[in-house]
Copies of this chain bind each other. A is one copy, B any other.
Amino acid sequence: MEKLVSLCKRRGFIYQSSEIYGGLNGFWDYGPLGAELKRNLRDTWWQAMMRQRDDVVPLDATIIMHPNVWRASGHVDTFSDPMSTCKACKKLVRSDQWWSLMSEAAWVKTVAPLAIPGQPFNTELLFKFARSKGYQQAPNLALVKETEKLLAQLKDANEKGDFATDEQNFYIRIATLDSSATGAVTPCPHCGGELTAPRPFNLMFRTHYGPIESDDNLAYLRPETAQAIFAQFKNVVDSSRVRVPFGIGQIGKAFRNEITPRNYTFRSREFEQMELEFFIRPDEATRLIHGKVAQWSEGADLSEPQPDWGWEMWHRYWVAQRTSYYEGIGLGADVLDYYWQKPEELAHYARATVDILFKFPFGTEELEGIAARGDFDLRQHQMHSGKPLEVFDEELKAACAALTDDQRLAFVDEAFASRKNPDVTREEVEAACANLFKGNYLPHVIEPSAGLDRLALAILSAAYAEETVTDEKGKSETRTVLRFHPRVAPVKCAVFPLLKNRPELVTKAKEIVQSLRSHMHVFYDESGAIGRRYRRQDEAGTPFCVTVDFDTVGENGPANEGTITLRHRDSMKQERIAIADLPARLATALD
Contact = CB atoms under 8 A, between A and B. Distances in A.
Given A30-B60, A35-B58, A58-B36, A387 B20 contact: yes
Interface string A453-476: 000000000000000000000000
Nearest to A56: B32
A12 B65 contact: no
Contact of A51 (B17, B206, B521): B521
A391 interface: no
Contact of A23 (B12, B60, B66, B250): B66
A443 interface: no
A280 interface: no
A20 B54 contact: no
Contacts of A253: 63, 253
Contacts of A57: 12, 32, 35
B62 A381 contact: no
B517 A52 contact: yes
B207 A206 contact: yes
Give chain A's interface secondary structure class: mixed
B12 A31 contact: no
Interface string A409-430: 0000000000000000000000
A525 interface: yes
Contacts of A281: none
Interface residues of A, number: 86
Contacts of A257: 208-211
Interface in A216-265: 219, 221, 228, 231-232, 234-236, 239-241, 248, 250, 253, 255, 257, 259
Interface string A9-27: 1111001011111111111
A284 B219 CA distance: 49
A124 B26 CA distance: 57
Given A18-B66, A26-B209, A83-B211, A31 B270 contact: no
A201 interface: yes
Contacts of A31: 59, 232, 235-236, 239-240
Given A9-B239, A51-B521, A207-B205, A385 B60 contact: no
| Identical copies of this chain, number | 2
A68 interface: yes
A39 interface: yes
A15 B206 contact: no
Contacts of A518: 51-52
A55 to B, nearest CB: 10
Contact of A235 (B19, B64, B68): B19
Interface string A498-529: 00000000000000010001100100110100
A137 to B, nearest CB: 20
A295 B559 CA distance: 49
30 contacts: A10-B239, A12-B57, A12-B240, A18-B65, A19-B232, A20-B234, A20-B385, A20-B387, A21-B66, A21-B68, A21-B69, A21-B385, A26-B209, A27-B62, A28-B62, A29-B60, A31-B232, A32-B58, A32-B59, A32-B240, A32-B248, A51-B518, A54-B513, A63-B270, A83-B211, A201-B211, A205-B208, A206-B208, A211-B257, A241-B527
